[in-house]
Amino acid sequence: MAISASALPHAHAEEHHAHDHEAELRREHLMLDPKPRGELNAMVMESMTSTSWKFWVVAGILAVIVAVALFGAWGYMISEGLYLSGKNRPGYWSLFLVHTVFWVGISHAGTFVSALLRVFKVEFRRPFTRAAELMTTFALAQAGIQIFAHMGRVWLAYWMFPIPNQRQLWVNFQSPLMWDFLAINTYLLASTMYLFLPLIPDLAMARDRSTGWRKSVYRILALGFRGTEAEWTHLRIALNIFAFAILPVMFSVHTIVSWDFAVAMRPGWSSTIFGPYFVIGALQSGVAAVGMVVIVIRYTMKHMDYFIRKEHFDAIGKLMLVISMGWAYFFFNDYMIQWYGGDSFTDALLHFHEAGPGGWIWFMMLITNVAIPWLVLWNKAWRRNPVLLFSVGLLINVGMWAERYIIVPVSLQINRMPFLWGQDFRPGIEVPIFIGTVAFFVLLYMLASRFLPLVPVWEVQEGQMAHSIRRYGKEPVVSVAELE
Amino acid sequence: MASLPKIPEYKAEWAEGEAGRWGIAIDMDLCTGCQACVAACSMENNVPFVGEHDAGYGRQMAWIRVERLWEGEYPEVKATPFQPVMCQQCGAAPCEAVCPVFATVHSQAEQINLQVYNRCVGTRYCANNCPYVARVFNWADYSNYPEPLANQFNPDVTVRRRGVMEKCTFCIQRIHKATDQAKAEGREVRDGEVQPACAQACPADAIVFGRLDDPESKVSKLSKDKRAIKLLEDLGTQPRVTYLKGGYHGNLG
């Protein structure tokens, strides 16, 4: 029998332990580690204004990529024709639609995560809701670019706007593309308002702490917010309405995106489960993107190491794991129901997915969307490792890209006329245009980080006021007050 | 007050099973697969040549194609009969509902499916939703022929530019010419008076065009033949093209 030779714990050591526990709590949780309000405001202002030369080098490179790869290539394609892209018959749609759905998916989760966590009063949300909401707006801009690039005659895109006109033409509200157009515009408007509302107090804070052109712009944007009781009450009511209302809007909008495919008469597309499958797919890619964005701003911006902590990585990692399980469930459902249907064309398509020339993409999708998150994100230490979490987020986005790739160009190769089944698919000018939209997204985010407070500092202050550590005997206990 | 002219609806207004107005019957036992219909259609309708490279990549623009498939493993190979496929002018066309700008609509007069090139913005949704894969897209300005070649264009048919969808029209310009002539003479169009380019060029007379709402027309009789089938009829698209089933051609027929 082994003999334990450790010293007996005594009263003093226990007190020391309890003290450690409290320090650990404060180190771990932003809400328990309060700073004076003035100091927080100054930190956020400084994170916006302290710009190193490296920032401008990166921004310059991105701007060149945007100018050449996005607008240059796109302009060339507009003047030459869509033959520069990899489309043919039967692959009438291809990477532009893949990338539209990709960006719409990413954008949906930004506002969704923020609204969901706000509705459920999840306290760790406070420092990164705005980073997620900004992602929505900028990713939707990229989705718009992709869908316009997809059009054969983009210079007539305004024909899709339902505005009274002297052409005596109206739009076809029976078309899923029309639903899609209206739904995405609704979402853009709603999410931009939802982004702007909690921004108002921070803009007022910035207005009171800046000079020059910044002050004049902030003065206009802050809408004369002074922080009176009535203003706060109105803001809270409006935020509450928007946070609740935007959740069903998000679900309906991405369901409508899925209807572009689900209502079409095609094997592999006309699947009744596509609505929730697309919604969970959007969350899968979007939450992973929120994780990536949060990690990047944590390590590149000044003072962000105070606001964004390991607890946030941990929480986002858990969310990614849960959503990955949800995605696997819906993927299985979709596959199972299509296979069980027994339609011979669908059978041929499912076989083509796995064993066709793009079969490796199908398997890569399952590995990066399911296997890797499930293996990595179980582990608390791994979730809290920024490099690992960033890599998993990136891989999930690669997997979600692959999912849309399987749905659009790969599924289009199989139709009901076997004479025109395709095998060949070459990506063309879509590749530089996609790289251009990625660069544009990052560039917009970088420029916004110089101008908008990326941390909703009033929400952090509110949370820190509500939290305190009480002692019950020797044990520190976290207590949260209900402020609203 | 005179009643307002009726605006054409976006899709078929008639009940399922109704015959439609114009139709084609194709006898697959007669078709020799000579592709004369493909060439004639391209010349009549200003269908551009896309060149070897683009054609190899699946961007041919012919409005009609002669399908043939092989079944089985070599040497036990059976060839299916030749099957010319063009737009089936569906009574309930899946392409019409999905166009966001009404660029593909159903015509009241001819009861066929029209493609309005000027209105098309090129979303290509109609092509994805067509179960017969009958539509082709102008991926580039393929019709920019050098000068003497541009004289071959048929002046009765629009030359399409890049970015618009197109498809078989049952040679609607010929239908109009014949109906105008008949109207001027105060009579109905006679059976066989109007022929699309494919039917006119077919050396075996495998393609027969005419009015489906005239029970005495040749195409109506052929459509009621016991060999008559319609492509993907179970989808409920009400196609206006009838195929008369052919036999297999034996080994490599």
Q: Which of A222, A249, A247 is nearest to A235 (CA)?
A: A222
Q: Which residues of A touch B235 (CB under 8 A)?
A: 265, 416
Chains A and B: how many Cβ contacts under 8 Å? 137
Q: Do B59 and A88 touch (CB under 8 A)?
A: yes
Choose the closest CB to A151 out of B69, B123, B136.
B123
Q: Do A159 and B119 touch (CB under 8 A)?
A: yes
Q: With contact defined as beta carbons under 8 Å apart, do A136 and A108 qualify?
A: yes
Substitution target from B38, B47, B98 for chain A, most A beta carbons within 10 A:
B98
Q: Is A149 left (phi over 0), alpha (psi -120 to 50) or beta?
A: alpha
Residue of A nearest to B163 (CA): A152
Could you say which residues from 37 to 76 on chain B have a Cβ atom under 8 Å away from some Cβ of chain A? Answer: 54, 57-60, 65, 67-69
Could you identify the residue written with the tokens 């089938």? B229
Q: Do A89 and B129 touch (CB under 8 A)?
A: no
Q: Which of B43, B81, B80 is nearest to B63 (CA)?
A: B43
Q: Do B133 and A264 touch (CB under 8 A)?
A: no
C-alpha separations of A347 from A273, A324, A352, A411, B24 in Å: 17, 26, 8, 12, 32
Q: Which tokens sit at A114?
A: 């923020």
Angle at B86 between CA B85 and CA B87, to 5 degrees: 135
Q: Nearest C-alpha of chain B: how many angstroms from A413?
A: 11
pLDDT given at position B120:
94
Residue of B nearest to A157 (CA): B121
Q: With contact defined as beta carbons under 8 Å apart, do B82 and B31 qualify?
A: yes
> What is the overall mean pLDDT for chain B?
87
Could you identify the residue written with the tokens 């195929």? B243
Q: Does B155 touch chain A (CB under 8 A)?
A: no
Q: Nearest C-alpha of chain B: how many angstroms from A417?
A: 6
pLDDT digits (tens, 9 = 90+) for B166-191: 999 999 999 999 999 999 999 988 88
Q: With contact defined as beta carbons under 8 Å apart, do A317 and A375 qualify?
A: no
Q: Nearest C-alpha of chain A: how many angstroms from B182?
A: 32
Q: Do B101 and A160 touch (CB under 8 A)?
A: yes
Q: Which residues of B touch A265 (CB under 8 A)?
A: 94, 129, 131, 235
Is residue A228 classed exposed, middle or buried when 0-12, 13-18 and 19+ CB atoms within 10 A define those classes? exposed
Sign of CA dihedral B117, B123, B126, B131: positive
Phi, psi of B4 (to 5 degrees): -70, 145
Spatial CB neighbours of A233, under 8 Å, sequence gap ≥ 6: none
Q: What is the ipTM of this complex?
A: 0.87
Q: Which residues of A touch B10 (CB under 8 A)?
A: 172, 174
Q: Which of B66, B37, B53, B45 is nearest to B143 (CA)?
A: B45
Q: With contact defined as beta carbons under 8 Å apart, do A271 and A264 qualify?
A: no
Strand locations in chain B (E): 22-27, 65-67, 70-71, 78-79, 83-85, 104-106, 113-115, 136-137, 165-166, 207-211, 228-229, 241-244
Q: With contact defined as beta carbons under 8 Å apart, do A49 and B131 qualify?
A: no
C-alpha separations of A386 from A253, A287, A312, A319, B82 in Å: 32, 15, 10, 15, 62
Q: Which tokens sit at A88?
A: 């043919």
pLDDT given at position A169:
81
Phi, psi of A448 (to 5 degrees): -65, -35
Q: With contact defined as beta carbons under 8 Å apart, do B152 and B67 qualify?
A: no
Q: Do A151 and B164 touch (CB under 8 A)?
A: no
Substitution target from A265, A270, A343, A429 for chain B, most B beta carbons within 10 A:
A265
Tell me, what amino acid is at A287?
Answer: V
Residues of chain A with pLDDT under 50: 1
Q: Nearest C-alpha of chain A: how many angstroms from B21?
A: 25
DSSP B173-202: HHHHHHHHHHHHTTSPPPTTS---HHHHH-
- What is the distance, to the nearest Å, from the Cα of residue A147 to the centroid of all Cα atoms in its chain? 18
pLDDT digits (tens, 9 = 90+) for B100-152: 999 999 887 888 999 999 999 999 999 999 999 999 999 999 988 888 988 99
Residue of B nearest to A177 (CA): B100
Q: Nearest C-alpha of chain A: how many angstroms from B241?
A: 16
Q: Nearest C-alpha of chain B: how many angstroms from A162?
A: 10
Could you say which residues from 168 to 227 on chain B have a Cβ atom under 8 Å away from some Cβ of chain A? Answer: none
How far, in Å, CA of A443 to CA of A188, rounded?
19
Q: Which of B226, B247, B248, B229 is nearest to B239 (CA)?
A: B229
pLDDT digits (tens, 9 = 90+) for B233-244: 888 888 999 999
Q: Which of A201, A239, A125, A215 is nearest to A453 (CA)?
A: A201
Looking up residue B208, the CATH number of its domain turns out to be 3.30.70.20
Tell me, what amino acid is at A454?
Answer: L
Sign of CA dihedral A71, A76, A82, A87: negative
Q: Which tokens sit at A228?
A: 């009176």
DSSP A286-297: HHHHHHHHHHHH
Q: Nearest C-alpha of chain B: how many angstroms from A97?
A: 10
User: Three-state SS for A342?
Assistant: coil
Whether domain A40-305+429-480 has CATH 1.10.3210: the reply is: no
How far, in Å, CA of A66 to CA of A476, rounded?
53
Substitution target from B123, B141, B241 for chain A, most A beta carbons within 10 A:
B123
pLDDT of residue B1 exceeding 60, the answer is: no
Phi, psi of A300 (to 5 degrees): -115, -25
Choose the closest CB to A152 out of B54, B69, B137.
B137
Q: With contact defined as beta carbons under 8 Å apart, do A287 and A247 qualify?
A: no
Could you say which residues from 109 to 138 on chain B have a Cβ atom under 8 Å away from some Cβ of chain A? Answer: 119-125, 127-129, 131-133, 136-138
pLDDT given at position A398:
95
Q: With contact defined as beta carbons under 8 Å apart, do A393 and A384 qualify?
A: no
Give me the percent of chain B exceeding a pLDDT of 90: 63
pLDDT given at position B12:
47
Are β-strands B136-137 and B165-166 bridged in parallel, bridged antiparallel, or unpaired? antiparallel
Helices (H), chain B: 36-44, 51-56, 94-98, 125-129, 147-150, 172-184, 197-201, 218-223
DSSP structure class, residue B251:
B
Measured between its terminal Cα atoms, the distance across chain A in Å is 59
Q: Which tokens sit at A405?
A: 């790739």
Could you identify the residue written with the tokens 């969901």? A116
pLDDT given at position A484:
61
Q: Nearest C-alpha of chain B: how many angstroms from A424?
A: 7
Q: Does B141 touch chain A (CB under 8 A)?
A: yes
Q: Which residues of A touch B54 (CB under 8 A)?
A: 83
With cut-offs at 50, 70 and 90, classify the pLDDT of residue B19: low
Q: With contact defined as beta carbons under 8 Å apart, do B163 and B122 qualify?
A: yes
Residue of A nearest to B127 (CA): A92
Sign of CA dihedral B175, B177, B181, B184: positive
Spatial CB neighbours of B92, under 8 Å, sequence gap ≥ 6: B11, B12, B16, B236, B237, B238
Choose the closest CB to A177 out of B98, B102, B165.
B98
Q: Domain range spanning residue B78?
A: 22-244
Q: Which residues of A touch B131 (CB under 8 A)?
A: 265, 415-417
Q: Does B106 touch chain A (CB under 8 A)?
A: no
Q: Do B85 and A89 touch (CB under 8 A)?
A: no
Q: Which of A56, A74, A223, A219 is nearest to A144 (CA)?
A: A74
What is the total count of domains within chain B? Answer: 1
Q: Do B100 and A156 touch (CB under 8 A)?
A: no
Choose the closest CB to A81 out of B85, B163, B232.
B163
Choose the closest CB to A157 out of B54, B98, B121.
B121
Q: Which tokens sit at A460?
A: 């952090």
pLDDT given at position B248:
66
Residue of A nearest to B141 (CA): A81
How far, in Å, CA of B143 to CA of B138, rounded?
9
Angle at B193 between CA B189 and CA B198, to 5 degrees: 130
Q: With contact defined as beta carbons under 8 Å apart, do A353 and A299 qualify?
A: no
pLDDT given at position B21:
86
pLDDT digits (tens, 9 = 90+) for A47-98: 888 888 999 999 999 999 999 999 999 999 999 999 999 888 888 998 999 9
Residue of B nearest to A172 (CA): B100
Cross-strand pairs, B137: B165
Tell me, what amino acid is at A441?
Answer: F
Q: Which tokens sit at A34?
A: 């309060």
Q: Which residues of B touch A417 (CB under 8 A)?
A: 67, 85, 131-133
Are β-strands B22-27 and B241-244 bridged in parallel, bridged antiparallel, or unpaired? parallel
Q: Do B69 and A156 touch (CB under 8 A)?
A: no
How far, in Å, CA of B68 to CA of B66, rounded?
7
